[in-house]
């Protein structure tokens, strides 16, 4: 713990740390393919990277970490690869539960979670409930998520409130739209990192 504190002090001496870091987890499949390996092996390596990033951010005192792990576009991948990814997700959640408790990490999700297999939904729901009172870092997993999906669900929510009379069309502004987005409970990311070498956002 003393060493962790020294590292935090050193970093803070260079300037304020980000409150919220977001990471687009990309390139695992390409990494494996370039080495003549099956894509799923790259995803397995990606799970180890997720653990390292999560623990490092928790130790540094980062308040929020968002990991974009599975986008809505990823549903277009071959069924075998999707099944392998879902299996990896379930295993990772079960295996890393002790890490969440040890570091008092609160798990949250954004995205169309209802599209995930029921066993994945169950593991996520259980771990989110078990960690809901923790006061350490908040880890947000973006699963079956994309910006277009988020905008669409926000507009559906606003439209529903207009139809029910809770909201009028004239009331719709940037603030109303922002509050309708799935990440409205968290501060905007201060730092966005994309792995895999691509210089773009999804």
pLDDT at 112: 94
Chain CA centroid to CA 105, Å: 13
| First-to-last C-alpha distance (Å) of the chain | 37
pLDDT at 31: 46
Backbone angles phi, psi at 133, to 5 degrees: -95, 0
- The Cβ of residue 150 has, within 10 Å, a number of other Cβ atoms equal to 19
Q: Which residues contact 46 (CB under 8 A, 6 or more apart)?
A: 25, 28
User: pTM here?
Assistant: 0.82
pLDDT digits (tens, 9 = 90+) for 14-51: 678 899 999 887 655 554 565 665 555 555 565 677 78
Contact 145, 67 (CB under 8 A): no
pLDDT digits (tens, 9 = 90+) for 115-147: 999 998 999 999 999 999 999 999 999 999 999
Highest mean pLDDT among 40-44, 75-79, 164-168: 164-168
For residue 156, CA distances in Å to 164, 170, 180 come to 12, 16, 9
Residue with tokens 């999804």: 202
Known catalytic residues are 26, 74
Residue with tokens 């940037």: 174
**What average pLDDT does the segment 73-91 reach?**
84
Contact 196, 28 (CB under 8 A): yes
């Amino acid at each position: 713990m003393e060493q962790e504190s020294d590292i935090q002090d050193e970093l803070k001496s260079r300037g304020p740390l980000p409150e919220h870091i977001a990471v687009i987890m990309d390139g695992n499949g390409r990494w494996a393919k370039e080495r003549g390996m099956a894509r799923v092996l790259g995803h397995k390596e990606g799970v180890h990277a997720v653990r390292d990033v999560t623990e490092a951010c928790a130790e540094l005192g980062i308040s929020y970490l968002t990991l974009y792990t599975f986008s809505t576009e990823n549903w277009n991948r071959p069924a075998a690869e999707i099944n392998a990814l879902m299996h990896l997700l379930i295993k990772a959640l079960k295996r890393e539960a002790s890490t969440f408790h040890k570091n008092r990490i609160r798990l949250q999700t954004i995205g169309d979670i209802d599209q995930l297999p029921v066993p994945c939904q169950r593991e996520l729901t259980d771990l989110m409930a078990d960690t809901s009172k923790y006061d350490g870092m908040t880890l947000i997993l973006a699963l079956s998520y994309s910006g277009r999906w988020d905008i669409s669900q926000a507009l559906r929510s606003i439209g529903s409130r207009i139809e029910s009379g809770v909201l009028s069309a004239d009331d719709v502004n940037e603030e109303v739209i922002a509050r309708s987005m799935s990440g409205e409970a968290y501060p905007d990311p201060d730092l966005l990192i994309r792995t895999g070498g691509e210089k773009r956002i999804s």
